[in-house]
Amino acid sequence: MKAVVIHEHGEYDVLRVQDIAAPEPGPGEVQLEVRAIGLNHLDTWVRRGVPGHAFPLPMTPGCDFSGTVSKLGPGVTGLSIGDRVFAAPGISCGRCAKCASGNDHLCRHYGILGETTNGGCAEFAVLPAQNALPIPGDLDFVQAAAFPLTFLTAWHMLVARCGLTANDNVLVHAAGSGVGSAAVQIAKFHGARVLATAGSDEKLAKATELGADAVCNYNSDDFVAAAKAFSKRAGMDIVFEHVGEATMPGSLRTLAKGGRVVTCGATTGPKLEADLRHVFFKSLSILGSTMGSRGELHLIAGLVGQGLLKPVIDRVLPLDQVAEAHAAMAGREQFGKIVLVNGEPS
């Protein structure tokens, strides 16, 4: 089969499309014939490397993918050859107290396909059978590969971590990203008012189409001032963060008393400078969030299948253009998701 294999960390040239043996499913696993792979910023971190973290190289990236079941490993029940499925990206032990209580994303052995073990950026992939979930509604393979990680991440951030309500004013940073475009929709689904930021007027127009009540171009305008005007000087109840150093200090300044900022990433850098007096005087909450539970993903898939939440797809490229796809993400060219496909999109 053809697969993207990373042998060492580096720039786009380390994304090698190679002919390798197709993986065989072991006990409790299934093999998928992969049709579509949704890219995430996680894929760029796997490619570039993270100081202090060892990835199990060589490996095939790709945590979001969809396709048809092509082989069943020993002991697998409830799935059949030919089933149309998408991959739940998080893997856990399934035995500990966290897993048993529905908090599998907090399992001490938790990992992510394409980051902890080989992923789906290939023509075939193997994953635990419990991670092969039925494609909801009438979604095609491209749509099914475009929502799991971003919508799960955004849902857990807003709903589980922040307790999102219809009374909240929510600031969503970088609404053109996959997780940002998901956050706008989730906040509006719950009845909140949304101020979205992006780096171009074209992206802001698309954020408005997704339901944002107001928008701010962070390259030309002051989002702190925009948040003050949007909230009538009351402050934002929730700030949805994943940008990091470039926005976090301003995000804290926008918060109302009792406000919470939740972050799942730091694309512009991990360092934070903050005046802690504002944090305790205003009873602010700074919340971290990574992924979410498989139960939440089942709920999200149902909403996506009903068309109440919609994956946003920027472009579809063949698998061998993976380097071009990474370059587009690095240049922040896209609005929503870039999806790679094996064969014709369907």
Q: What is the pLDDT of residue 267?
A: 85
Q: Are 129 and 76 in contact (CB under 8 A)?
A: yes
pTM, two decimal places: 0.95
Would the pLDDT of 250 be above 80?
yes
Dihedrals φ, ψ of 339, to 5°? -120, 135
Mean pLDDT of 120-135: 98
Tell me how far apart the alpha carbons of residues 277 and 259 are, in angstroms, rounded to a whole number: 14
**Tens-place pLDDT, residues 5-53:** 999 999 999 999 999 999 999 999 999 999 999 999 999 999 999 888 8
Joined tokens for residue 13: 């040239």
Would the pLDDT of 275 be above 90?
no
Q: What is the pLDDT of residue 138?
A: 93
**Tens-place pLDDT, residues 142-169:** 999 999 999 999 999 999 999 999 999 9
Higher-confidence residue of 269 and 13: namely 13
Q: CATH number of the domain at 151-288, please?
A: 3.40.50.720
Q: What is the pLDDT of residue 346?
A: 66
Q: What is the pLDDT of residue 31?
A: 98
Mean pLDDT for the chain overall: 95
Q: Are 119 and 38 in contact (CB under 8 A)?
A: no
Homologous superfamily (CATH) for 2-146+311-341: Medium-chain alcohol dehydrogenases, catalytic domain (3.90.180.10)
Q: What is the pLDDT of residue 144?
A: 98
The Cα angle at residue 259 between residues 257 and 262, in degrees rounded to 5: 160
Q: Where are the domains of the chain?
A: 2-146+311-341, 151-288
E strands, the chain, where? 2-5, 16-19, 29-38, 64-72, 84-87, 90-91, 111-112, 124-128, 132-134, 169-172, 193-198, 214-217, 236-241, 255-263, 285-288, 313-318, 337-341
Would the pLDDT of 133 be above 90?
yes
Mean pLDDT of 239-252: 93
Q: What is the pLDDT of residue 222?
A: 95
